[in-house]
Amino acid sequence: MTAKHYIDNESNLIITTWEGEAIDADLIEALKKYQKYIQLNAKYIDYNEVVNFSKVTNIKLTIDGLLTIGRIASKTDKKLSNKRMALIVGSYFAFSLANLYVFYRNMGNSSRKKIRVFKNENEAYEWVKSNT
């Protein structure tokens, strides 16, 4: 699986597009790199995020993998953050897995980020850019 990142400074967004297979180990490795080099960069610390999984060709995720990814991701959430993340998926199966991920991620007390899952890209961007 490959991740392509784009920084939209005008909209204060970090946009990530994932392509290929979705495999636990690949997602975990990519997430750690993303956090280290992009998400925790002082220039982008208050940016919202869009993660587009609609181009994923095959999903091979486990419950343990989703739990691990959720734990890793929530560790970088700012305690009083009003940041948003929109997840875009291309199938109902991916929609269900993404919502399960959101549930796991929100189990920890440190997660303050508002996360929603979308099948429609325009709705995702509209929501992540809104202030309410």
Burial level of 115, CB count in 10 A (0-12/13-18/19+)? buried
Query: What is the pLDDT, as a whole number, of residue 132?
Result: 54
Say whether pTM exceeds 0.75.
Answer: yes
Residue 13 near residue 50, CB atoms below 8 Å: yes
Q: Say whether pLDDT at 32 is over 80.
A: yes
DSSP bridge pairs for 49:
14, 85
Q: Say whether pLDDT at 45 is over 90.
A: no
Query: Using one digit for the tens of pLDDT, what is the confidence trace for 50-87?
Result: 999 999 988 898 889 988 988 888 887 765 567 899 99
Query: What is the pLDDT, as a whole number, of residue 1?
Result: 61
Give helix 24-34 / helix 63-74 axis angle, nearest 10°: 10
Residue 46 near residue 77, CB atoms below 8 Å: no
What is the 3 state secondary structure string of 66-86? HHHHHHHHHCCCCCCCCCEEE
Those residues whose C-beta lies under 8 Å from the C-beta of residue 8, and which sit 6 or more positions away, are 14, 15
Q: Say whether pLDDT at 120 is over 80.
A: yes
The CATH fold of domain 2-119:
Transcription Regulator spoIIAA (3.30.750)
Token match 């956090």: residue? 35
Query: CA 83, CA 87: separation in Å to the nearest integer?
Result: 13
